[in-house]
Amino acid sequence: EDGGIFLPQTIPRVSADTLAAWSALSYPDLCKEILPLFIDKSEISKEEVCGIIDKSFTEFETAEVVTVKTLKDGVNVGELFHGPTGAFKDIALSILGRCLDLVLSRRQRGVNILVGTSGDTGGAAIHSVRGSPWANIIVLYPDGMVSEVQRLQMTTVTEKNVSVFAVEGTSDDLDVPIRDVFARRSWSRSMTYAALTVLMWVV
């Protein structure tokens, strides 16, 4: 009700034996074990979650999704850039967009998604819902302060549910109007707005 971030009411407990078994799983298979622990089965079943994960990760350059490279002295580095926009945020948002579409289609309810980005979130968020019949996405980015690749990823999308605007100022400045929308709770609820990032999903 206060426009803040949704948090789980409880954190699932996982045994040491389960964690040990999970250590041998691929990243997609690990997602299939963890995500259903946080998603209400009445909203999306485990089978549906697994199907969404499979479909989401088909767009990645590698079936591993997250690859780990070993450097000198035993240092391991995770590569998080194999998604469709090259941003690590593809990993979460590719799944979240499909989950959102499924839930909205069942509720027969649309949503307007507001995104403020300093570059990579915008492209990943757009890709996650582009073409959706249930979600419109409005992205603000600081004019002249994103890379040319990031700008083109956002501004060359032709789907009708995507709107992108360059904003004067910094990425902190463009967060102000988005916060104002959610501060007006009765208005934001009546217009069905949501904020979507890799770390939070506010409806």
Is 72 a known active-site residue?
no
Cβ-based neighbour number of residue 42 at 10 Å? 6
Question: Per the structure block, which two tokens stand in for 69?
Answer: 């490279």
Q: Which of 41, 46, 89, 160 is catalytic?
A: 89
β-strand 111-116 against 162-167: which pairing, if any? Answer: unpaired
The rounded distance, in Å, linking the Cα atoms of 38 and 30 is 13
β-strand 67-70 against 76-79: which pairing, if any? Answer: antiparallel
- Of 24, 122, 34, 28, the closest CA to residue 66 belongs to 28
The rounded distance, in Å, linking the Cα atoms of 68 and 49 is 25
- CA-based Rg of the chain, rounded to a whole angstrom? 18
Question: Per the structure block, which two tokens stand in for 135?
Answer: 């979600």
Residue 142: how many CA atoms within 13 Å on its side-chain side? Answer: 15
Sheet holding 135-142, edge to edge: 162-167, 135-142, 111-116, 193-196, 201-202
Which of the residues are catalytic?
Answer: 89
